[in-house]
Every structure is written in C-alpha cells, then in structure tokens.
Amino acid sequence: MEIKAIRGFNDILPDEVGKWHFVEETAREVFEGFGFSEIRIPILERTELFSRGIGEATDIVEKEMYTFTDRSGNSLTLRPEATASMARAYLEHQLYTFDPVAKLYCIGPMFRYERPQKGRYRQFYQIDVEVFGVENPMVDAEVIVMLIHFLRRVGLEKLELQINSLGCRDCRPRYREELKKFLKQKAFQLCEDCQRRLETNPLRIFDCKVETCQEAIADAPKVNDFICPECQKHFDKVREYLEAAGLAYILNPRMVRGLDYYTRTAFEVVSYQLGSQNAVTGGGRYDNLFGELGDFDSPGIGFAIGIERLVSLLPKDREFVQYPHLFIAALGVETLIEVYQIINQLHLEGIRAELDYEGKSLKSQMRRADKLKARYVLILGENELKQGKAVLRNMETKSQEEISMEGLIDILRKKLL
C-alpha cells in the first residue's frame, strides 16, 4: 500500500518553494534592518514549558499539543508556538546579562492538533518575532510598524491592522468577573466548550466560531472599558506612536487572542483576500510570561506570521520559480564528455543549466527545453564541436546565433546572468 503524508502535514513542492524563499529572505532582510537577530530553537521541548507558559486553560494546551513520553519517561511536546521556547532560551543562556534588551526572530514549523482545513494545518510554519526586556510602549509601536512594513514589502494589500488592550494582572481579573457574570445569564446559549470556558477562561469565548456563542457575546462588556489607568496610559501611547508613524488601525475590543500570557497591547493583521481563516498574523505584549517560566522577570512583546497564509496572498502576477538559464542539447554521444565539462563549469559560475542525459533526438530535447521553460538552448553537434562552434537559440524570440566555443563560458555568463 502506498504511504501518504499524515493529515494536516503538507509537502511544500519545488514549484511553491520559490515563494517561501522570497518570504523568508524578505523577513531576514527587513528584521535585521530593524536590529533583530535570528535565533534557532529546538522543535521539541519539555511539555511543562508550554503548559506553564501558554496556560493550562487554553485550547492549545488543553487539546492541540502533540505530546508524548520519550524512552526515558520524559513528557515532551512538539512546539505549538515559538515564544515560550525563545523566552526559555533567553533565560537559560542568560542573554540578559549582555543586554536586557533582546530583539529576536525565528522561522520554522509549529505543530497543533487542530482540525485541518484550508489555511489551517497540523504542521504549519511561522515567522516569529520577539522583543524581550522593554516595557516602553514605543517598542509596541515599533514592532507593529516593522510588521506592516514587512507585509507591504512582500506585496500584500487589503490589510487591516486591529489593536486592543487586554489590561494587566491587576485589572483583567475584574473584567473576567464582569464577563463571567454577564455570560452566566446566557449560559444556555453557549456551546459545550464555551460552558466549560466560562469557568476556566471566559475570554476565550470571543474566539468561538459557533453562532449562538457569537450571539451570546455580542453585547458583552468590553475589556478596554475595564483597564487600569496605567494600562490606559500605555495604550494611549501606543496609539500615539502608531499615528506618528502614519499607520491606520482599527480598535477591536473583541480581539482577545488565544493565549493566557498576553497583557496590554494585542494586535492582529487580517486580510480580506483570505476566507474564514483570515488572520495572517497576530501578536501582543506578554509581561507575565517570564514570571511563569523562571525567577528572572522581564517584559516581552512579539508576533507570529503564518507562512502558509502569507504565501497564499502573494501577488499572482509575480514569478517565483527559478527556471533554467540554459538547456544544452547535445547531439551524438561522442560530444557527451565535452558537454559534461561545459555544464560543470556553468554550474560553478551559477548558471542554471540542464542537460539531456539520454542522447535523445534534437526534437525531443527541444521539447524538454520548452517544458522546463529554459531561456536559451545551446545546441552542440559533433560537426559543430569539431569546428569549434555552437548554436545558441533564444527560446523567447526564437532567434539563433552561432557562437564560438572559445570563451564560451564568458559569452554565456554575459548573456545569461
């Protein structure tokens, strides 16, 4: 029986990979320009890191983690997100002793046992950006400015930046209680999951897609009506800095984000080009995360971009596939050793050259060159070779010219690169 990939786990095929390279290279360029450095963290961590960091009463920890016991009896989990791991690395390697401010990014796969559908997978890739060690609202705005700049650089349009403030450890409990009181009267309208969330994590009900839950929560009290003066001041400053940077945004009091560790600023960028899974990226401040992980407390803010969703939004008119510069059509086996030497040299020069290994007819080789979308074909026959000549055909204009084998590599380099 043929073995297939696991549901929700995708192959990224060669004709798609060009888009991924473009996104990842642009991310590196933009983020490094803003003073961020890459960090590479393991895919597997101790389960406790996520249950403590993300919070027991979140969907991720309750039902979406790939957790297993290894051969030594340790409970391990495939990372469902990168923030907790990045915070762990910052603490473990005491990066703060060099400078408390760490600006980091990481690119890689995450794993969540969610119900697969378009735009939602069980292995998916994120670009994750975090700033540790700064409480100042200027950095909240700076991170958002960088995010929008990056999304525009990759060519995204029809974006909407939504922001909210979720309050802090001091003011959010009061909101939670008010929300709970309000929703208790509507408990009969809530789905089974949300009835449970009402006790464990009522804010999560905002994210529920069930229609009756959405109706129940429609007139619920808003989190930003309950935030303390300190949080209000922080939020006002964030807005002021965003406005100073000329960024338009929408206040979305219903955006609460899924993870427990968020405090104060929360934001999402949605695209109206996507269907129901319209969030391309989301993030926020999490000043309580470090307290959960160790003895060293530090504020933090960051965001994660879903690469699959981002790639699906890239401009359709852009070409991301790297086609061969040149196809070498060699006629007659006698020439093959020479062709082999030429193609090796071309590859060393960075010229993408393809070859027919089977000694097929010229017609069949030209057909293959066409299929591969090679820009030029170099036709090498035994007679031409003896005379020190070859024919170069431009596949777009269909024009042909005779070129000398002497200095061939130089000629091709000038023409093709």
Q: Is the dihedral of CA 77, 81, 82, 87 positive or negative?
A: negative
* Residues belonging to the chain: 417
Q: Which is nearer to ligand AMP, 121 or 261 (CB)?
A: 121
DSSP 152-186: HHTT--SEEEEEEE---TTTHHHHHHHHHHHHHTT
| Residue from the set 165, 281, 298, 365 that interacts with ligand AMP by CB under 6 A | 281
Please give the residues from 231 up to 270 whose contact with ligand AMP meets the rule CB under 6 A.
Answer: 258
Tell me if 284 contacts ligand AMP by CB under 6 A: no
The rounded Cα 226 to chain-centroid distance in angstroms is 33
Number of residues that bind ligand AMP (CB under 6 A): 17
d(CA 164, CA 327): 55
Backbone angles phi, psi at 104, to 5 degrees: -130, 150
- Decide if residue 114 touches ligand AMP (CB under 6 A): yes
Task: Determine, following the binding rule CB under 6 A, whether residue 282 of this chain makes contact with ligand AMP.
Answer: yes
C-beta closer to ligand AMP: residue 126 or 252: 126
193 is a contact residue toward ligand AMP (CB under 6 A): no
121 binds ligand AMP (CB under 6 A): yes
User: Cβ closer to ligand AMP: 142 or 308?
Assistant: 308
Segment contacting ligand AMP by CB under 6 A, of 101-109, 242-250, 291-299, 303-311: 303-311
Q: According to CB under 6 A, which one of 279, 314, 362, 411 is a site residue for ligand AMP?
A: 279
Q: Which stretch binds ligand AMP (CB under 6 A): 162-170, 218-226, 278-286, 406-414?
A: 278-286
Q: Give CA angle at 288 (130, 190), nearest 5°.
A: 100
* Geometric angle at alpha carbon 21, from 121 and 66, rounded to 5°: 25
Q: Which of 49, 198, 304, 377 binds ligand AMP (CB under 6 A)?
A: 304
3-state class percentages of the chain: helix first, strand second, coil last, to nearest 5: 40, 20, 35
Encoded tokens for 108 = 């890689």
For position 228 contacting ligand AMP by CB under 6 A, the verdict is no
H-only helix segments in 93-159: 95-98, 137-153
Token look-up 């409990």 returns: 173
Site string for ligand AMP, 125-144 (x = CB under 6 A): -x------------------
Minimum distance, C-beta of residue 65 to ligand AMP, in the bound complex (Å): 12
Which of these segments, 18-26, 37-45, 149-157, 273-281, binds ligand AMP (CB under 6 A)? 273-281
Q: Which stretch binds ligand AMP (CB under 6 A): 114-122, 175-183, 192-200, 229-237?
A: 114-122
59, 260, 308, 356: which one binds ligand AMP (CB under 6 A):
308
Q: Distance (Å, rounded) from C-alpha 239 to C-alpha 248? A: 10
Instruction: Pick out residues in 68-97 that bind ligand AMP (CB under 6 A).
Output: 81
235 is written with which tokens?
A: 């939020």
Sign of CA dihedral 403, 406, 411, 412: positive
- Residues found near ligand AMP in the complex (CB under 6 A): 81, 112, 114, 119-121, 124, 126, 258, 279-282, 304, 306, 308-309
